[in-house]
Amino acid sequence: MPTHSPWVDDPEGYGRVSRMLHWGMALLLVWQLLSAVVRAVAEHSPLDAFFWSTHVGTGFTIAWLAILRGAWGLANLRRRPATEGPALLRKAAALGHIALYGLLILVPALGILRAFGKGRDLTIYGHQVFAPVTPGPNAALGSFAGEVHEFLGWTLFALIAGHIAMALWHGFVRRDGTLGSMTRGPAARRLAARG
């Protein structure tokens, strides 16, 4: 029986790199959701100032991790666990994942476009990407990008809620090992197959 590296994906479950990227991004997305919710309900409060000061950097990090995770997923495509369930659900899962990855990259890109269009500066982790310009080079484009950024940001969180619901359904209703393969890796599917 060949031995597999615990770092790469396996037909029995996701490797350590995939799981670290997944759960690391999940933590960043929870933080990002908190920053958006606090902004929506307590704008200009000290709590808002604290969370909002991290919003741009966190969004930037999420976008780059999504690109890295997508590249890692493609590199491991032939080794990844098969999607469980009926054909329609497998297709929906594939489309849902494509939408998630797309929004994880598009939403931060729109945030950058909003800042540029409105003439705001953009500083990420203490490094200025571009300086403020008054008046904004294209305030209408900045406003449009801002509105779409906000709408798609909330859409992303709705998709994530659906993703979580389906993972729990796989784990506690179907009991097919899908949830375990992302929490415990390959050993989880082998245990589910025996159970």
The tokens of 103 are what? Answer: 């929004």
pLDDT tens digits along 144-192: 999 999 999 999 999 999 999 999 999 999 988 888 889 988 765 555 5
Tell me which residue has tokens 């080079």: 137
Distance CA 113, CA 2 (A): 49
pLDDT (tens digit per residue) in 23-76: 999 999 999 999 999 999 999 999 999 999 999 999 999 999 999 999 999 999
pLDDT tens profile 95-123: 999 999 999 999 999 999 999 999 999 99
Give bridge partners of residue 13 from the DSSP assignment.
10
